[in-house]
Amino acid sequence: MEIKQLIYFREVAEREHISEAALELEIAQSAVSRQISNLEKELNTTLFLREGRNVKLTDSGELLLSQTNQILSLIDETKQLFHNHDEMDKRAIKVAYTESYVSQALPAIIKSYERDFSIEIRPVLMSPTEIEEALQAHQIDVALSELTPKLVNNGNTVKHPLFEETYNLYVHNHNDLSMNPKPPLSQLRDQYIYHYNTLPNQIAQLIRKHTSQKVYPISNPALLRQTLLSEKGVLILPDYLSDQVKNDKLVKIPLTHTELKRTINIIYQKNNQNKNLNSFIQHARTLLQRQATYH
C-alpha cells in the first residue's frame, strides 16, 4: 500500500467519479483506475460499486476512507512539524563562546534578546580552534571569543572588539610578592602557580614564556582558597572571577601592567545568511560593552 494510492482513493471517494478525480489529480483516468484496482487486490476487498457513471463506497470502502483520512492527516501533521522545525532552525541564532566574562553575561543577553525579538538563541561552549572550524563550516552564526591567528588573517570574517579581559595575581600576605604592586611575571619563576577551572591557551603560553612554569588547575573554589591560605602557591585569575577567592589574608595584585590580557571579540562570517543575525550582534555588543565597562 502506497501513500499515493490512498490519495487517489480519497479523491475518488469524495467526488464519486473517477474521471473527475483524475482531472483534479492531473493524471490519466487509467492511472487512477489502476491504483484503485491494485489497492482492492492488496486488501482483498471491493471498495467501490458502480452506479451509472458514478461510483459509491462499499462498507469496506467506508472503513478504508476513515482510516485513510487519519493516515493522511497524520502525514500532513508530520510534514508541518518538520517544516516548522526547519523554519525555527533557520530563525534560531547559533552562538559559540569561549570561557570568559561572556559566560556570566550571556544568560541576561539571551533572555532579553529572546524576549524582545522572539528569536531562539542556541549557545554552545567551544575552544577558539573549534570556533575557527565551526564558523568556516557555517555550523554557528556568531562567536564571542578571542582571535586566533587564523581568525585574524581570515578575510571572510568580521570582528568587533568587545572588551579586554585582564588578570590578577593572588598571594598570601606572607609572600614577598605581596609587597610589590607591579611585579614582573619573571618574579613568578620560583612560585607554584595555580589557576581556577580553565585557563585560555593564550594566557597559559604567556605565563610559561615569562616564568618557565606550568600552571596547575583547581576546579573547586574552597580548595583553591585553602591551598592559597596554606601558602602552597599563588593564583592567576581573570578579574571577573575575583569574588571566588576573597579573603583577608590574600592580597590581590592587578596584572594590567603585564601581557596577561586578551581581547574578546564578536566574530561572524561576511556571507552569513541568517537575517536575524544583525539584530543579535547589535544587542550583544551594546550589553557586553556596557556590562564589561561597569564590571
pLDDT tens track for 211-263: 988 899 999 999 999 999 999 999 999 999 988 888 999 999 999 999 999 99
Residue with cell 471491493: 46
Cα 122 to Cα 88, 94, 140, 147, 215, distances in angstroms: 11, 5, 9, 21, 32
Those residues with Cβ within 8 angstroms of residue 239's Cβ, 6 or more apart along the chain or in another chain:
165, 166, 167, 168, 254, 295
* Residue pair 16/10 in contact by the 8 Å Cβ criterion: no
Instruction: Assess whether pLDDT exceeds 70 at residue 285.
Output: yes
How confident is the model at residue 85, as a pLDDT? 56
How confident is the model at residue 79, as a pLDDT? 79
How confident is the model at residue 271, as a pLDDT? 87
Instruction: Assess whether pLDDT exceeds 90 at residue 274.
Output: no
Rounded Cα–Cα distance for residues 174 and 90 (Å) = 58
Q: Compute the average pLDDT of residues 10-17.
A: 92
**At residue 132, what is the residue type?**
E
Domains of the chain: 3-89 (1.10.10.10), 91-163+262-294 (3.40.190.10), 166-261 (3.40.190.10)
C-alpha cell at position 144 = 564571542
* Residue pair 167/237 in contact by the 8 Å Cβ criterion: yes
pLDDT tens track for 122-168: 999 999 999 999 999 989 999 999 999 999 999 999 999 999 999 99
How confident is the model at residue 121, as a pLDDT? 93
pLDDT tens track for 90-106: 578 999 999 999 999 99
- Provide φ and ψ at 271, rounded to 5°: -95, 20
What are the DSSP E strand ranges found in 116-260?
121-125, 142-145, 157-172, 193-196, 215-218, 234-238, 250-254
Those residues with Cβ within 8 angstroms of residue 123's Cβ, 6 or more apart along the chain or in another chain:
95, 96, 97, 106, 110
